[in-house]
Structure 1
């Protein structure tokens, strides 16, 4: 029984592929800003950052240590850090080096350590630096008199840069600079599904899920703030921002099956699985790997980024870290 792997566990391992296989290899370098680790940098990004020594200080690799990428500590504040990084990213974008930057949309994302905002960068670039990302998701559902628990899904527009045409949660979106969590949920609900004010006031906060995914575009240590919204039987969602092409109402069992198809957005699976667990549809009785799955919906991202450079200022010359043993 120990080695018996259910479809659901395989799926949970898929959206945690970096946490389970990439991270233990130890090939990514911590990305440090103002003495705090805020991300991880893959080798192909590291090689490009080496070309900007006035912006990124590279601590040389040592035995069993791939090295560290530190944003130049001479940049003293949020504005300067943001401007210097933005300049490099725009250069990358114009050179077409990274596919992730094809999704550039001048929507800024706050890079934080705890509650401190250290800089902002375009949302599309965060995966290049393995920066922790936060978003909101709304499970829109009904209790149907004959079909039981039913869940609304949206189909993403074919023109979206990421996951075009894939099925997704009814409402979802990343946090942007200047917007709070619930504020983002309300804004996205109006834009994506035209959910009116008198219904959105019934939104219930239902915790969060966290996972660590990797694709060719980059690293995705994601935390999603989850909301449940019971909708009236006669409510039909409609899109207002051009980013959704269709909606579909599925029973819980149909929804679960949809997750196992290539038509569903991999990084939205955790939210649906979490919903089906909390609503008693996936249980320890019907899921052999129940505890592993619950654990893989709550990857401890808080504790993964704990690297602190042991460097005093006198080890830095002209913005470069001297290669002393540290």
Structure 2
């Protein structure tokens, strides 16, 4: 498996120099390629890549790797081949596309619609205490988006899976790049979100579940928009809200001159150059 170094999009030269490359890697600086030898099958490639990340962490020289997530995510080639699985610690550093599910939940009361907006727990490693989408989570290897969304709703806000399953509305996808990582380093995250909406009945009150959420409160659309303008939302959640506002006619060509540019940046095509 060869990895073209141009695809290591977070400060590639610094990353390559900081990494400890075990003997099963061949680094060719002239052709800017990194080749994994001996990785003849899926399981072996997965094991060798974990060994590579462990070596980098133990060397204590790599400043773009956060803590182990203990969650495995798929790495796909540009033609869609599932090459290996890696711990989430390596996603941003190696420019791997992260697939996630994001849901905006709302409740109608009289003529008013309000939105359930959580704040992230103060103990979160990334963006602690910032505002979030109602529920979000990364898609683990082998997990279907709808199953991930139902699971995350139960874990984060204690929602009944049968209610979630019956009332979720799928709203397509967005794909985009950001110029910093979750750990705050300059770089480029590549993300694809499967989008959902969920209408809550007035008797369903979210409860704090697995500790990912600090608190959750109802906000009007104007309050959400003000919070977005004030930079109070986690960056990728702002993308979800932009898509929501466009999808529901709150951002239009008549009130936003950059609508075409915004839409194009919410639908990027990500290619990872692996052969």
Fold-level match, TM-score > 0.5?
Answer: yes
Matching of residue 71 in structure 1 with residue 39 in structure 2: no
Separation (CA, whole Å) in 2 of partners of 1:37 and 1:182: 34
What is residue 153 of structure 2 aligned with on the other side? Answer: 189
Separation (CA, whole Å) in 2 of partners of 1:193 and 1:258: 22
What is residue 49 of structure 2 aligned with on the other side? Answer: 85
Over 3 Å counting, the alpha-carbon distance change for 1:36 and 1:88 in structure 2 is: closer
What is residue 129 of structure 2 aligned with on the other side? Answer: 165
Matching of residue 264 in structure 1 with residue 229 in structure 2: no
Matches within 5 A, 1:259-298: 259-298=228-267
Matches within 5 A, 1:1-326: 33=1, 39-41=7-9, 42-49=12-19, 51-52=20-21, 54-61=23-30, 67-72=32-37, 74-113=38-77, 114-147=79-112, 149-200=113-164, 201-215=166-180, 216=185, 218-301=187-270, 304-305=271-272, 307=273
Separation (CA, whole Å) in 2 of partners of 1:186 and 1:38: 37
- How far the C-alpha of 1:38 sits from its partner, in A, is 10
Structure 1: any 5+ residue segments left out of the alignment? 1-32, 310-326
Over 3 Å counting, the alpha-carbon distance change for 1:100 and 1:36 in structure 2 is: closer
- How far the C-alpha of 1:177 sits from its partner, in A, is 2.1
- TM-score by length of structure 2 reads 0.88
SS in 1 for 2:117: strand
Separation (CA, whole Å) in 1 of partners of 2:256 and 2:27: 46
Over 3 Å counting, the alpha-carbon distance change for 1:308 and 1:88 in structure 2 is: closer
Separation (CA, whole Å) in 1 of partners of 2:71 and 2:104: 24
- How far the C-alpha of 1:142 sits from its partner, in A, is 2.2
Contact 1:150–1:249 (Cα < 8 Å) also in 2: yes
- How far the C-alpha of 1:214 sits from its partner, in A, is 2.6
Root mean square deviation, CA, Å:
2.3
Contact 2:151–2:161 (Cα < 8 Å) also in 1: no
- Between structure 1 and structure 2, the one with the greater Rg is 1
SS in 2 for 1:292: helix
- How far the C-alpha of 1:135 sits from its partner, in A, is 0.4
Instruction: Provide the aligned length of Structure 1 versus Structure 2.
Output: 267
- TM-score by length of structure 1 reads 0.75
Separation (CA, whole Å) in 1 of partners of 2:13 and 2:225: 36
Structure 2: any 5+ residue segments left out of the alignment? none
Over 3 Å counting, the alpha-carbon distance change for 1:226 and 1:80 in structure 2 is: same
- How far the C-alpha of 1:122 sits from its partner, in A, is 0.8
What is residue 320 of structure 1 aligned with on the other side? Answer: none
Over 3 Å counting, the alpha-carbon distance change for 1:36 and 1:60 in structure 2 is: closer
Contact 1:38–1:131 (Cα < 8 Å) also in 2: no
Contact 1:93–1:102 (Cα < 8 Å) also in 2: no
